[in-house]
Structure 1
Amino acid sequence: MPSRRLPAVAGIFYPAQANLLYDTISQLLAENQRQLACAPKALIVPHAGYQYSAAVAACAYSTLQPFAHTYQRVVLAGPAHRVAFSGLCVPATGIFSTPLGEIPLQAPAALTAQTTLSDLPHQLEHSLEVQLPFLQHILPEFTLTPLLAGHTTASAMAEALEQLWGDSGTLIVISSDLSHYLSYDHARQKDRATLQQILRGDADLDGDQACGAIPIAGLLQCIRQHQLTGHLLDYRNSGDTAGDRQRVVGYAALAYCEEHHDTIH
């Protein structure tokens, strides 16, 4: 029997009761619908508590609904918040569980030089966990390859993502918030510039722009090679979603697919 990673932030970042969690996600998706003419190959989504950022995340995840049967595997990458380490980390465990059930993990066929195998950084990490209920709600069946970024480079992340890229049956999900603890107007200005940079494909990002700067930058390096188009689906910050505008965190939803170019409006 494969070992399991149990939920670390159920009841804190999102509802711990299965029925309430399912209904919450159903409502979020219904209220934040976005449509694309193409099946997304990659998403960028935020990872705060659901009251703060889940409506923005739902804008990205809703684009998967017409294509749900396309995907058999999800590669999920985000920054490590709880444990400091160098390089990238995939878990040794075989299953991630949430209140909605269990997700079987698919380990990489081979690890890159910068990637290690360890459960410790994953045990309490929220950046990946909060994405799982959305994926379970939308996709009928899939395997998961979770990848955490520690102290590393965009090139190392790009190498790992490229190794895991796969065909149209593989979805890449990057988990990242944007600016942290700025005033409402300052955050909007800074985040707008960051989003313009991301949509230009400029991978020279830093941690002041996004806590998942390395995962995003690694994706952007792959995007250039695969010639995918970015679509900005939503931008809000916690001042929009939770009320306090003195110190906000920025959230964006983006999708990438093989289609025409998009711009910020």
Structure 2
Amino acid sequence: MNREPAVAGSFYPANAVTLRHMLSDFLDLADSDTRPPKAIIVPHAGYIYSGPIAASAYARLKSVRDSISRVVLIGPSHRVAFQGLAVSNADTFTTPLGSIPIDKAAIQQLQNLPFVGYLEQAHALEHSLEVHLPFLQQSLADFKLVPIVAGDASPDQVSQVIDTLWGGNETLIVISSDLSHYHDYSTAQRLDRHTSDLIEQLNYQNLSSEAACGKVPVSGLLKSLQEKSLSIKTIDLRNSGDTAGDKTRVVGYGAYVVE
């Protein structure tokens, strides 16, 4: 079974050549001369809006392009309401750049957690995971994917999933989230700076869904980092008013790395 792209042609180009050129432009403009991250939080809007911000994190994978063989990707559910976290029976997830094999063994590991289950409807039209796949295909060589959609789940449940698959240098954790929605430019800047402060403080208890649509997976990552005595830092914080939209009603985007 293959999960076909749902938002190619709307959130990002459906033409492979156009898509590769766009990704290359984003990544070339970002700083790659830094330590590679173990985990990242990146936004999931249309590429013209959030692509440059996401690229600031993905560009840092340059030095580990050939050594990362597994990506654990967790994003929020926008279309289907459910309890817990949803995995997929698909063998591959496809984009205009090709197909990505699914790490079936890792998904089988997660079946030991009672709040993780198969739910294809959660994956079928969900963009919060899909928009990251071309970035990963452009940034990495050969890797397997563990795609997870987060429904109504606690920080502890998400952190258990992350801890189960944390692995070593072969594993990258990717958390998908945008920030504030539909405020004016200056209000969004203030709110998103506050949210970024909470993220850097690992203060998941005070993170709200209004502050970050990916509050559920973000909170789980922060809880896991807290328990591991690791830190996270903001490397990019902008909004759609900085990229491709007007400044009267913007969406906020942040990129964060765990090194």
TM-score in terms of structure 1 length: 0.93
Equivalent residue number for residue 90 of structure 1: 87
Name the CA distance, whole Å, in 1 between partners of 2:80 and 2:202: 29
Equivalent residue number for residue 24 of structure 1: 22
Name the CA distance, whole Å, in 1 between partners of 2:234 and 2:170: 22
The code of the aligned residue for 2:226 comes to R
* Mapped contact 1:73–1:143 kept (Cα < 8 A): yes
Shift of 1:224: 1.6
Shift of 1:162: 0.9
Name the CA distance, whole Å, in 1 between partners of 2:199 and 2:74: 17
Give 5+ residue unaligned stretches, structure 2.
none
Equivalent residue number for residue 110 of structure 2: 110
Equivalent residue number for residue 240 of structure 1: 242
C-alpha RMSD of the superposition: 1.0
Equivalent residue number for residue 99 of structure 1: 96
* Mapped contact 1:34–1:233 kept (Cα < 8 A): no
Equivalent residue number for residue 153 of structure 1: 154
Name the CA distance, whole Å, in 1 between partners of 2:212 and 2:110: 29
Equivalent residue number for residue 134 of structure 1: 135
Shift of 1:34: 4.2
TM-score in terms of structure 2 length: 0.96
The 1:197–1:35 alpha-carbon spacing in structure 2 relative to 1, beyond 3 Å, is farther
Equivalent residue number for residue 217 of structure 2: 215
The 1:35–1:228 alpha-carbon spacing in structure 2 relative to 1, beyond 3 Å, is farther
User: Residue deviations 1:223-257, cap 9 Å, x none?
Assistant: 12223232211110011112311111100111101
Name the CA distance, whole Å, in 2 between partners of 1:153 and 1:243: 34
The code of the aligned residue for 1:29 comes to L
Name the CA distance, whole Å, in 2 between partners of 1:58 and 1:186: 24
Name the CA distance, whole Å, in 2 between partners of 1:206 and 1:86: 18
* Mapped contact 2:37–2:258 kept (Cα < 8 A): yes
Shift of 1:153: 1.1
User: Residue deviations 1:47-83, cap 9 Å, x none?
Assistant: 0000100000000000111121220000000100011
Answer yes or no: is 1:167 the counterpart of 2:168: yes
Name the CA distance, whole Å, in 2 between partners of 1:163 and 1:147: 13
Give 5+ residue unaligned stretches, structure 1.
258-265
* Mapped contact 2:152–2:216 kept (Cα < 8 A): no
Query: Structure 1: which 4+ aligned runs deviate by more than 3 Å?
Result: none
Mean Cα displacement is larger for which, 218-227 or 19-28?
218-227
